[in-house]
Amino acid sequence: MTGLVGRPVARVDGRVKVTGAARYPADDPVPGALHGFLVTSEVAKGEVTDIDTSAALAHPGVVAVLTHRDMPRLTVPPFPYLKGFIPMQDTAIHHVGQPVAIVVANTVEQAHEAAALVAVRYRAERPRVVIDDAAGPPHLPPPFRNRPNEIKRGDAAAALARAEVRVEARCSSATRHHNPIEPHATTAQWDGDRLTLHETAQGVNLTKGTIAAVFALPVENVRVVAPYLGGGFGAKGPLWSHTIINAAAARVLRRPIRLVLSRAQMYTMAGHRSEFRQHIRLGATRAGKLTAILDTTTAQLSNTDEAIFNASESARLLYDCPNVHVRQEGVRLDVATSSYMRSPETTAHFGLETALDELSWALDMDPVELRRRNHTEFNQETGQRFGSKHLLKCYDMASQAFGWSQRKRKPGATKDGDEYVGWGMATEMHTFGAMPSNASVTVGVDGKVVLRTATQDIGTGTYTIISQIVADAMGVPLDVIQAHIGDTALPVAGLSAASATIASVSGPVDRAARAARDAVVGLAVADERSPLFGVPADEVETRHGHLIHSRNHQRRDSYRAVVSRAGEPVEATGSGPNLPGLSYGVVFVEVRVHARLGSVRVTRVVTAHDIGRVMNRRTARGQVIGGVTWGIGHALMEHTVYDRNSGRVVNPNLSTYLVPVCADAPPALEALFVDEPDPGSTALGARGFGETPITGVPAAIGNAIYHATGRRVRDLPITQDKLL
Amino acid sequence: MPESPHPATTHTRRTVLKSTAVAAAGATLVPAPAVAASSVPAAAPTTAGGVAEAMEITLSVNGRKHAVTVEPRVTLLDALRERLALTGTKKGCDRGECGACTVLVDGERIKSCLTLAVMRQGSAITTVEGLADGDRLHPVQEAFIRRDAFQCGGCTPGQIMSAVACIREGHTGSEEEIRQWMSGNICRCACYQNIVAAVADAAREVRG
Ligand code: FES
Ligand code: FES
């Protein structure tokens, strides 16, 4: 064993990323590709009554303008296509920003210019786009992917009525947009009935199956390629309609077409985190034991689908409580379809962790102590004991590193210059997914090792971690390994969302690598020309690219020598079970609130997480610093503003939709890990993690603001005006 | 960028619908789309529709001179990416808000989406592809790898070019100063603490 798994190995894709050599989907050269650009609806509800494309067609370089009149009839695919309809199949308008035409031209500039020349007339109706304007009361949507929106355990209402202490909170959260730095890009290339997509996809195979369904193609006719991705955060998980429209246009025109969404289009075309309301009630004993959780939420839904993504998972699963009632309601509005956005449960988790903080003040109990008293070793829904859960240790590690015991037990008690200083904390939790995956490992006659699996690296470190796994399993150095991912021509693997990548691919990659190792060892011991000839295979160790007799280190061979003598590459495959599960942690924050300006700075953060075995401490820390900063954006700045009259997004850009910049990131951040392998893991002891370290941050910040100022703000984001 | 689909609808010159130009592809039966009568090659000079003529210009990028034909409206960013196949420079917003497109022009950092290619003739342009000295990475590139200052890499070329200039400008006196002067480059993966550490490292190396 070279023992690379678990070490903070530098990213193997570092060099190509810092030199600009990494080719992202919008960079891939596709000879002869035309450029597409979408014309989108300016009204939120109604229908297209006329489209005049003549001026656009007259623009130099324009090859075609396609509208609903020209589009082939397509099949609305099932999940993970979320939108419920395909635009440009008829005249109906369901939301602002819905595509109504695609302009195809020789250059990007021509396509953009001509798109502005397409004249669309509408019959417009007055839209309703925010929860406050809903036509009727919220309703309970049917189960989404077999998951019900109402869950009851025990009798929560009765338990609440009987509770010694009660807390009630109403929280809200604005619409948010993912805003990966790389806009969605798609290039469709047809060869007869075969389609290749260069696609910003978090799941190449999922995209392949979905687009095949749209065009009624055999799945094997589709290839989807995405070797690098400039961030996804859920926005590039499902297939969206621009990809369908572009592919349809390319088929009609028999030319490859590249289409890149503008930043503004990303605010209506590719999902968002819904506007959200939450009414949460907690019942507890005077000793701080939870007896009832009632959590009713309302999400902003579109008029063409009713999937709810901001699930109240933590209310159901995180704490020991016999009486729970969760209701996830929605209201249908004239907005674009929402979707998964990094740590979807963050929205609802804010209410739970805020209410717990309020309960801690009501009980005059330390909020960490309150959480300890409600800790559980059992899955609250199945009753099964968790095989491995080190949340209590997370509380210990992080509170000690933070210096939590020094906390003043009074709000507004610390002022430093013009700023009030406050401390807050929250538990973190995320349910991660796992998807069937396969891998192959080939040892070439040159001794190089090629790993193939159609997973993705969305920035979380997949390239690096799967290379570490191969290095350890085979006993070869990292620099002989080349990982090929992000292409459906490779062995099938799951999508990179729901923090599922590591949980999905680690096992299959490890098995493929071990099988390749065993095959090469087998060749060596059977080959008279090998110094290892005749040695029992189980007495051969592999290290640094060598095969070594464990009892006589003089007898050794190398991968390169063995395979080159064999004269042809050795290939092995691996697949296997993958299990979803839960990851936990805790976050402590220090905030400084300006007494007169109401501005909030997050100045110090300590986290501790239980994620099973830490595969790579660097990339894991990367998820923490990114997640904490996402939590800061969620808590303090990000919000998409709708104009209630027109239904338009008022701030579809990065200068008025504020995301955290360098100066907003906490200058002091400590990311701790328990690092105990999970015996139940199918991923070498690891669990899925990427989304866990956002979940508690908004509540921890809100709780710290309360500690700093005595002001409880339950409406996110907590912008300056709310603290003046 | 122009995104209003409500223009004047008087434009009829050269407007011809030639409905048989492209047949429906494959087995799918579709109505014939509206297709332009004559599509003009990308580089062809034209004055139609108020669009100024494309012109041949010379851009000096990474020490090499490139002849490139562009319309005056083509941004430096699109000239680099679409005409010179230098796709290391990224487009994140196309309106000066994200910094992904940052390049050096005569040593100064600029957002290449906010400048036109024709305005940069005669300037020395450096992109992320031109930073390393053969196989030897620039100290900022080295530091970004060492400090794990990226995840997806989408913002990284812009961050690196910005960092090179930030160091040259002398805005690396403290971590706080780096945080402020690197705030024009958004990293949605939010590797900010590591970016600050990388810039501080590289500044020590470059400035001694
Ligand atoms: S692409 Fe130029 S600043 Fe965003
Ligand atoms: S590394 Fe992904 S945006 Fe910066």
Report the C-alpha gap between B164 and B131 in whole angstroms: 9
Determine if the peptide bond prior to A411 is cis (ω within 30°).
no
Beta bridge partners of A101: A39, A67
Query: Rounded mean pLDDT of A184-192?
Result: 98
φ/ψ of residue B167, rounded to 5 = -70, -45
pLDDT recorded at residue B10: 35
CATH number of the domain encompassing residue A109: 3.90.1170.50
Residues B117 and B155 in one domain: no
Lowest-pLDDT choice from A18-27, A604-613, B10-19, B177-186: B10-19
Residues A533 and A465 in one domain: yes
Is A429 in the same domain as A440?
A: no
Q: Does A53 sit within 8 Å of B34, measured CB to CB? A: yes
Mutation pick from A48, A96, A107 vs chain B, by most beta carbons of B within 10 Å, is A107
Within a domain: residue B201?
Answer: yes
Question: B110 CA to chain A: closest CA distance, Å?
Answer: 17
Residue B59 shares a structural domain with residue B110: yes
How large is the average pLDDT for residues A418-430?
A: 98
Is the same domain home to A189 and A292? Answer: no
Q: Is residue A615 domain-shared with residue A688, that is, in the same domain?
A: yes
- Are A378 and A483 in a shared domain? no
- CB of B156 closer than 6 A to ligand 2? yes
Half-sphere exposure of A98 (CA within 13 A, CB side): 33
All residues at 6 or more sequence positions from A468 whose CB lies less than 8 Å from its CB, including other chains: A4, A5, A7, A9, A478, A615, A616
Phi and psi dihedrals of A668, rounded to 5? -120, 120
Ligand 1: residues whose CB is within 6 Å?
B 91-94, 96-101, 111, 113
Which neighbouring-strand residues pair with B129? none
Q: Are residues B126 and B145 in the same domain?
A: no
Asked if the structure places residue A622 within a domain, the reply is yes
If asked whether residues B71 and B126 sit together in one domain, one would say yes
**Beta-strand pair A99-105/A715-716:** unpaired
pLDDT at A36 over 50: yes
pLDDT of residue B113: 98
In the DSSP assignment, the letter for residue A221 is G
pLDDT band at B42 (very low <50, low <70, confident <90, very high): very low
A181 with B16: Cβ contact below 8 A:
no
How large a percentage of chain A has pLDDT more than 70? 100
Asked if residue B185 has its Cβ within 6 Å of ligand 2, the reply is no
Rounded Cα gap, residues A513 and A416, in angstroms: 57
Q: Give the contacts of A440 (CB within 8 A, at least 6 positions apart).
A: A451, A452, A453, A490, A491, A512, A571, A572, A573, A574
Q: What is the pLDDT of residues A364-398, one digit of tens each?
A: 999 999 999 999 999 999 999 999 999 999 999 99
CA of B115 from ligand 1 middle (Å) equals 11
Pocket test for ligand 2, best of B101, B151, B185 (most atoms within 8 A of CB): B151
| pLDDT single digits (tens) A305-354 | 999 999 999 999 999 999 999 999 999 999 999 999 999 999 999 999 99
ω before A183 within 30° of 0 (cis)? Answer: no
**How big is chain B, counted in residues?**
208
CA B190 distance to own-chain centroid = 21
Dist. CA A344–CA A311, nearest whole Å: 7
A411/A321 same-domain check: yes
Of A70, A183, A459, the CB nearest to B151: A459
Q: Is residue B13 part of a domain?
A: no
Domain encompassing residue A540 = 14-21+434-576
Phi, psi (degrees; rounded to nearest 5) at A360: -65, -40
Chain B positions touching A72 (Cβ under 8 A) are 24, 28-30
Q: Do B183 and A113 touch (CB under 8 A)?
A: no
B180 to chain A, closest Cα gap in Å: 5
Catalytic residue list of A: 691
Long-range contacts of A26-30 (CB under 8 A, 24+ apart): A26/A182, A26/A183, A26/A185, A26/A187, A26/A198, A26/A200, A26/A258, A26/A260, A26/B87, A26/B91, A27/B81, A27/B87, A28/A187, A28/A198, A28/A225, A29/B85, A30/A187, A30/A189, A30/A198, A30/A256, A30/A258
CB atoms within 10 A of CB A479: 11
- CATH number for the domain spanning B126: value is 3.10.20.30
In terms of domains, do B101 and B73 share one? Answer: yes
Q: Are strands A119-124 and A46-52 parallel, antiparallel or unpaired?
A: antiparallel
Nearest to B129 among A20, A108, A180 (CB): A20
The pLDDT, as a whole number, for residue A25 is 97
Give the domain CATH number at A593. 3.30.365.10
Average pLDDT of the segment spanning A99-110 = 97
User: Quick one: A427 and A449 in the same domain?
Assistant: no
Distance CA A138, CA B153 (A): 41
Last residue of a domain, one of B73, B101, B130: B130
**Nearest alpha carbon to residue A470 among A461, A460, A478:** A478
Q: Residue A317 and residue A407: Cα distance in Å, rounded? A: 29
Same domain, A489 and A507: yes
Pairwise CB contact (< 8 Å): A663 & B157:
no
CB-closest option in B3, B128, B178 to A116: B3
pLDDT, tens digit (0-9, with 9 covering 90-100), for A206-261: 999 999 999 999 999 999 999 999 999 999 999 999 999 999 999 999 999 999 99
Atom of ligand 2 lying closest to residue B159 CA? 4
**Residue A59 included in any domain:** yes
Is residue B115 a contact partner of residue B103, using CB atoms and an 8 Å limit?
no
pTM of the model: 0.94
Q: Radius of gyration over alpha carbons of chain A, in Å?
A: 27
- How close A225 gets to chain B, by Cα (Å)? 16
Question: How many domains does one find in chain A?
Answer: 3
Ligand 2 contact via A181 beta carbon (within 6 Å):
yes
- In this structure, what CATH number is given to the domain that contains residue B162? 1.10.150.120
Backbone φ/ψ region at A633: left (φ over 0), alpha (ψ -120 to 50), beta: alpha
Chain B residues 69-108 with a CB less than 8 Å from chain A: 71, 73-74, 78, 81-82, 85-95, 97-98, 100
pLDDT in tens, B94-139: 999 999 999 999 999 999 999 999 999 999 999 999 999 999 999 9
Q: Do A61 and B180 touch (CB under 8 A)?
A: no
Last residue of a domain, one of B130, B157, B180: B130
Over the stretch A595-654, which tens digit does the pLDDT of each residue have? 999 999 999 999 999 999 999 999 999 999 999 999 999 999 999 999 999 999 999 999
- The chain-wide mean pLDDT, for chain A, equals 97
Q: Please, are residues A516 and A442 in contact by the beta-carbon 8 Å criterion?
A: yes
Distance from CA of B73 to the nearest CA of A (A): 8
Using the 3D structure, point to which of B112, B130, B148 is the last residue of a domain. Answer: B130
Q: Is the ipTM of this complex over 0.90?
A: yes
Domain count, chain B: 2
Instruction: Write down the pLDDT at residue B208.
Output: 77
Residues B124 and B144 in one domain: no
From the list A205, A346, A377, A282, the residue with the least C-alpha distance to A698 is: A346
Question: Based on the domain organization, do A361 and A384 belong to the same domain?
Answer: yes
Residue A602 sits in the same domain as residue A545: no
Ligand 2 pocket check for B152: Cβ under 6 Å: yes
Q: Does residue A219 sit within a domain?
A: yes
Query: Which of B75, B95, B185 is the pocket-test mutation for ligand 1 (most atoms within 8 Å of CB)?
Result: B95
Distance CA A645, CA A321 (A): 44
Q: Could you tell me if A259 and A281 lie in one domain? A: no
pLDDT confidence of residue A529: 97
Q: Does B40 touch chain A (CB under 8 A)?
A: yes
3-state secondary structure of A77: coil
Shared domain for B52 and B123, answered yes or no, is yes
Residues B48 and B102 in one domain: yes
What string of DSSP letters covers B29-87?
Answer: --PPPEE-SSPPPTT----GGGPPPPEEEEEEETTEEEEEEE-TT-BHHHIIIIIS--T
Q: Are residues B153 and B97 in the same domain?
A: no
Residue A525 and residue A447 share a domain:
yes
Is B19 inside a domain boundary? no
> pLDDT class for B207, splitting at 50, 70, 90?
confident
Three-state DSSP state, B20:
coil
Judging contacts by C-beta atoms under 8 Å, the chain B residues touching residue A222 are none
The string of pLDDT tens digits covering residues A492-548 is: 999 999 899 999 999 999 999 999 999 999 999 999 999 999 999 999 999 999 999
Q: What is the CA radius of gyration of chain B?
A: 22
Q: What local confidence, expressed as pLDDT, does residue B6 receive? A: 39
For residue B42, the enclosing domain spans 34-130
> Residue A426: beta bridge partners?
A587
CA-CA distance, B191 to A29, in Å (whole number)? Answer: 29
Nearest CB to A72: which of B28, B46, B186? B28
- Residue A578 confidence (pLDDT): 83
In degrees and rounded to multiples of 5, residue A643 shows phi and psi of -85, 120
What percent of chain B has a predicted confidence (pLDDT) above 90? 73
* 3-state SS class at A255: coil
